[in-house]
Amino acid sequence: MRRNRWLWISSGGALVGIVGLLAWYFFQTQISPRTALSLTPENLQPLSLPAGVADVLTQSDSGNAGAIYLSAAEAYESQQGQCDQFADKPIGDPPAPIAQILSAAGTKCDSIFAGNPSAIVNYDAEHPPLDDLQQLGSDMDKIGLILLHRHQADDAKRYFTAVYALGWGMYSERLNYDEYQKGMGLLNESSQGLAECEPASATELSQASDSRVRFDTDHVQPIYTKIVSIDPQDVADYAGDVFAFATDCQDRMLRVEAILKLGRYRFDAAKTSDQTAAPKTLSNLAGNSDPVVAAAANAALNLTLDQYRTIH
């Protein structure tokens, strides 16, 4: 009798051990669970700035301003000195890159970098054509302020409006966070100048600017910072959300940043299952019909350990 009891106890203990081992194995082979970050439906929807932000622009000219912006960025490489000089002393006709940005203000911007997304959708710390556009926008904002102080309000407004249009185009395309952030920055810079040019619209412009800042602070940053965080606890806690944003997010910028994060998970995921799932998910996304998503996935798949160590 005693022997049977010990057999039952031993068998029960073995069963508990097997169940525990299976539970551990199941946990280790499953992608981490999602949190409210991705379970909240609106977080996976396209970003949408508050109403009225685009009302500054009247864009009825045919064509795509993005092609003009790319041409301006390319020309800036060889004419940066002339642009800097003109920004300090805006007298006469502006250099070609600035003139091109001015000419594009009345044309809608369908895309800038989408035709060659790998130019900015990568792990590089700098994106020269995007950086050049931001610098051109900042130079033109400076020119607008100088013209305003000369009491040339109409000319100043032309510059501020062109900067606003460039910022709006970059925000609207937002292939990655860098483009989003630079676009939002130009929108905010030019709004202040436009408010000085048009005192009657100053309140409306200020409210639109405040709405943009709140939108970024309250909605975008809480999502973005968790996706890209390198804090080990965040990496562990939000891995399931990163997978969800990479596969299901309707906003391309957030989706691209999540995909690039999966590239890092190949080396630093907290769970073996997340590390194993990352390249599988990326391989599926590499064939996506959206060339921007595909470019992000291929960049993530091609990230080497040496490259990872330089960006981590």
Contact 137/152 with Cβ under 8 angstroms? no
Q: What pLDDT does 272 receive?
A: 95
Confidence check: pLDDT of 29 > 70: no
Q: What pLDDT does 199 receive?
A: 86
pTM of the model as a whole: 0.88
Residue 278 main-chain phi, psi, to 5 deg: -55, -55
Residue 307 main-chain phi, psi, to 5 deg: -65, -45
pLDDT one-digit tens code per residue, 234-281? 999 999 999 999 999 999 999 999 999 999 999 999 999 999 999 999
pLDDT one-digit tens code per residue, 49-101? 876 555 677 777 778 999 999 999 999 999 999 999 999 999 999 999 999 99
Question: For residue 4, what pLDDT band results from cuts at 50, 70 and 90?
Answer: low
Confidence check: pLDDT of 12 > 90: no
Q: What pLDDT does 28 receive?
A: 47
Residue 61 main-chain phi, psi, to 5 deg: -70, 145
| DSSP for 180-220, written as a single string | HHHHHHHHHHHHHHHHHH-GGGHHHHHHHHHHHHHHIIIII
| Average pLDDT of the segment spanning 20-39 | 69
Q: What pLDDT does 57 receive?
A: 74
Please list, in sequence order, all residues whose beta carbon lies within 8 angstroms of the beta carbon of residue 106, skipping any fewer than 6 positions away: 58, 59, 60, 61, 165
Q: What pLDDT does 2 receive?
A: 54
Contact 307/266 with Cβ under 8 angstroms? no
User: Domain segments of the chain: what residues?
Assistant: 65-225, 229-312
| DSSP for 156-181, written as a single string | HHHHHHHHHHHHHHHHHH-SSHHHHH
Cα 258 to the chain's mean position, in Å?
10
How many CA atoms, within 13 angstroms, populate the side-chain half-sphere of residue 58? 1
Q: What pLDDT does 305 receive?
A: 95
Distance CA 273, CA 265 (A): 10
Q: What's the N-to-C CA distance of the chain in angstroms?
A: 63
pLDDT one-digit tens code per residue, 194-208? 999 988 888 888 888
Distance CA 55, CA 205 (A): 10
Q: What pLDDT does 201 receive?
A: 84
Question: For residue 304, what pLDDT band results from cuts at 50, 70 and 90?
Answer: very high
Please list, in sequence order, all residues whose beta carbon lies within 8 angstroms of the beta carbon of residue 61, skipping any fewer than 6 positions away: 106, 107, 108
pLDDT one-digit tens code per residue, 113-164? 999 999 999 999 999 999 999 999 999 999 999 999 999 999 999 999 999 9
Q: What pLDDT does 154 receive?
A: 95
Confidence check: pLDDT of 229 > 60: yes
Question: For residue 20, what pLDDT band results from cuts at 50, 70 and 90?
Answer: very low
Contact 237/227 with Cβ under 8 angstroms? no
Contact 156/145 with Cβ under 8 angstroms? yes
